[in-house]
A and B are shown apart, each in its own frame.
Chain A
Amino acid sequence: MAGITLNSVTKSYGGNAVINDLNLDINDGEFLTLVGPSGCGKSTTLRIIAGLENQTGGDVAIDDKNVNNIRPSLRDLAMVFQSYALYPHLTVRNNLMTPLRLRDLTFWERFPILGYLVPGRSKKITSIEAEIQKVAETLKIEPLLARKPGQLSGGQRQRVALGRAMVRNPAAFLMDEPLSNLDASLRVHMRAELSSLHKKLKTTFVYVTHDQAEALTMSDRIAVMMDGDLLQLGTPEEVYKNPNDIRVAEFIGSPKMNILKGTCDEKGQVTSAGIKIDAQIDPLNAGAISIGFRPEHIEIVQKASNKTLSGKLSYKENLGSDVFLHLSLDGSDDSFIVRAQPNEGNTQKIGDILHFTPIKGSALVFDSKGQGVTLLKSKTSGKRK
C-alpha cells in the first residue's frame, strides 16, 4: 500500500505540451479518479505513474520514494487497461499467472522444460497457484480458468483483467477507462463491484475515466483535468456543489448545468436578463459574470413575476422518474434544462411558455475569467475554494 505523489510533472511531445505542471498527492488507500474530456492528459498522467511513459519534467514518488528511473514492473503497481490487454494465446489461468511467474520465478525456473528441474520451483508454483485460486474465487471466475480470452464475454474479460492486476498484490491499482468497453447495464453493475472491491482490498486505486458519472459514484476524491491542467481536486460532493471553475461546473453533472450571462452591480447584486437573481457577491467582481443553475435547482411557477424567467418548451426528455424540460430562452442558443417531477412535467405541452425561478441560494456565480465566486451570506467574500 502506498501513496503516490506527483511533483511539478510536465509532459510534452515534440514541443506540444499535454501536461502542464501537475501537482497531485494521492493518499494511501484512497480511490482517486482522474476525470476530464478526451485529450485532457489524464491517461498520460496515469501512464507516467505506471512508468510506461517518461515525464518531460518533475518527479513521481511512490511511498515517498522517487521512481523516475524505475522500470514499470519494479514500481509495484498493477494496471487494468481499457482493452483489457489479455494475452490472447494464453488461458485465463496462464494470463493470471504471467505477472507472478515473471516476478517470482528466476530465469532458469522459467526456462522451458529445464525449468522443471530447478529445485524449489514446484513450491513456488504451488504458492502462485494458491494465489490465483484466491483471486479467482474473489472475482468468481473459477469456471473460466481453462478458457482463452477469445472465448470470454466482455464482462468476463474485464474480471480477468482485474484478476491479473490483483494477483500481484500491488501497492496501487491503476485503471485506464476499464469499464468503457462494457455495455451500459454491465458498466453500472461493475461500478458497484469496483467500489466494494476497493473497500475490501483497502489499496490505492487511481482510476481514469471521461465519464463524470463513474467519477461521482465511485471515488473518494475526484481530480478534474482539462487541457493538461488540474482544475479541481476534491470529494465528489465538493466538486459537484462547489465547482471552482466554470469548465468543471459544465463537465460534472448530467444533464449539463445551465449557464446564463449576467452582470454584477456595484453593490454586489447579480442580475440576468433584467431579473434580480437571489445572489449577492463581492462588489469587486462588478461587471460581466456568468451564473450557473443545476437543472434540479429550478422551480416552475404558475405566474410570471419580477423574480421569474420565461422560456418556450421545445423538448421533453422523459426518463420515467424525472422529466427534463428543455426551454429556449430569448437571447440564448443553448436550451435551459429544468428537472420536473413526472406528474408536473407530463402536463406541459411543447410550445408552452413556462415561467421559472431558481431555488434560493442555489445559483453558482463565475467571474469573467470563469473562476467561481462565493455568494455572500455575511460580509466575508472571496474566491470559492
Chain B
Amino acid sequence: MGQSKIHYWFVGPAIFLMLLLLIAPVFVAAGLSMTNYSLGNSGFDWIGLENYEKLFSRRSYAKMFTASLTYVLLVVPISVALGLGAALLISSLKIGGELYKAVFFLPVMATLLAMAIVWEFALNPIVGVVNDILRSGCDKDMIYAFFTGSWYGNNALESWYGSSCEKKFPIWLGDKKYALGTIAFIGIWQAFGFNMVLYLAGLTSVPRELYQAAHMDGADSAWERFKLVTWPMLGPTHVFVITISSIRSFQVFDTVEALTQGGPSKSTYVMVYAMFEKGVKQNLLGIGSAITIVFLIFVLILTLIQVYFVNRRVHY
C-alpha cells in the first residue's frame, strides 16, 4: 500500500504544529535574546550577546542561578531518597500498602498552587499551625530534651530548637535564611510520591525468582538481598527518576510566584520565575529570552546525561 498518499493527512497536522509551537519558538527565543525587544515597541536593536553578558555578570542573575541550583540540589536527592524509601517500605508491608500509596500520591494530584497557599497559612509565623506545634514542644520536657539534644549532654540553648524556643520560631517564607528551604520542602512534599510510584513500578518488574535465587545463594538478610538484587535491578529506574525530578524541579514556578515572588532579597529567584518576571511582568523580552535559552541548555544537558546513561546500560 506504499503508493497511497493518505499519510500526508495523518502526519501533516502534527508536523505543522510541531514546527509552529515547539521548534519555531526556540528560534524566536534565540533571536530575541540578542535584541532589546519589548512588546508594543515598533522596532528593536540588535545588541548581540549583551543580554548574556548581563546574565553572567550581574549579581541578581548570579542569585538566580544559585537559587535554581540550590533548589534542584535540595529537592532531587531528598525526594528521590524518600520516594525509594517509601517504595521499599510499602512493597514489604503485609497490609496497608495500598493506603499509604494513595496518601503519598495525593500531593502529586492536588493542584500545587492551591496547596502552596495552604502551606503558606500553615507556615504563617503568627497563626500558622507549624510554629504552633513547634512552640508547644518547648515546655514539654521530653520533646524539648530530644530535639535540643540535651538528653545526650548537649547545651540545649546552643541547638537550633533550644534557641528558637528562647527567642522565636522562624518566619519561614519571609526570612532569606529559610525561604528557599521552605519552598524546597513544599517541592519535596509534592514530588516524592511521584518518585515513589515510579520506584514501585520498578520494584514489581524485578523477577521474584531473583530473590529466591539470592536466598538460595545465601543472601540471608534483607540488606544483602537489597544490595545483591534490588539496588542493581533498579538501575534504569534510578536514571529515569533522577532526570525526571531534576527537569521537573528546574521548572519550579507556582510556589515561588504565589508565596515569595522571588524574595526575600532574591533568595528564591529561580529561573522560570525570573523568566516570567523579566519577560511578562517587565516586558524585557530580550533578557527573558536569554534566560529561556540558558534554561533550555540546562534541560538539554540533563536529558543528554540521561540518554548517555541509558545507552551505556550501566544499570545491569
Contacts and interface: CB of A to CB of B under 8 A. Distances in A.
A52 B2 CA distance: 10
A53 B1 CA distance: 6
Interface string B1-16: 1110000000000000
A52 B1 CA distance: 7
B55 to A, nearest CB: 50
Main secondary structure of the interface of B (DSSP, over half): loop
Interface in B1-35: 1-3
B5 to A, nearest CB: 15
Contacts of B1: 52-54
Contacts of B3: 54
A74 to B, nearest CB: 14
A52 B3 CA distance: 12
Interface in B163-191: none
Contacts, number: 5
Contacts of A54: 1-3
A52 B4 CA distance: 13
Interface in A39-67: 52-54
Main secondary structure of the interface of A (DSSP, over half): loop
A131 B1 CA distance: 31
Contacts of A53: 1
Contacts of B2: 54
B7 to A, nearest CB: 16
A342 to B, nearest CB: 41
Interface in B187-209: none
Nearest to A53: B1
A16 to B, nearest CB: 15
A60 to B, nearest CB: 15
A202 B20 CA distance: 59
Nearest to A72: B1
A53 B2 CA distance: 9
A13 to B, nearest CB: 10
Nearest to A52: B1
B298 to A, nearest CB: 42
A54 B1 CA distance: 7
Contacts of A52: 1
B134 to A, nearest CB: 56
Nearest to B2: A54
B128 to A, nearest CB: 53
Interface string A102-120: 0000000000000000000
B6 to A, nearest CB: 13
A37 to B, nearest CB: 27
A54 B3 CA distance: 9
A53 B3 CA distance: 11
A224 to B, nearest CB: 29
A216 B1 CA distance: 34
Nearest to B3: A54
A54 B4 CA distance: 12
A384 B73 CA distance: 81
A318 to B, nearest CB: 34
A54 B2 CA distance: 8
A136 B2 CA distance: 36
B1 to A, nearest CB: 7
Nearest to A71: B1
B3 to A, nearest CB: 8
A47 to B, nearest CB: 11
A310 to B, nearest CB: 49
Interface in A7-62: 52-54
B223 to A, nearest CB: 43
B2 to A, nearest CB: 7
A145 to B, nearest CB: 32
Nearest to A51: B1
A381 to B, nearest CB: 49
Interface in A284-340: none
Interface string B134-173: 0000000000000000000000000000000000000000
A302 to B, nearest CB: 54
Across the A-B interface, the 5 shortest Cβ-Cβ residue pairs: A54-B2, A54-B1, A52-B1, A54-B3, A53-B1
5 contacts: A52-B1, A53-B1, A54-B1, A54-B2, A54-B3
Interface of A: 52-54
Interface of B: 1-3
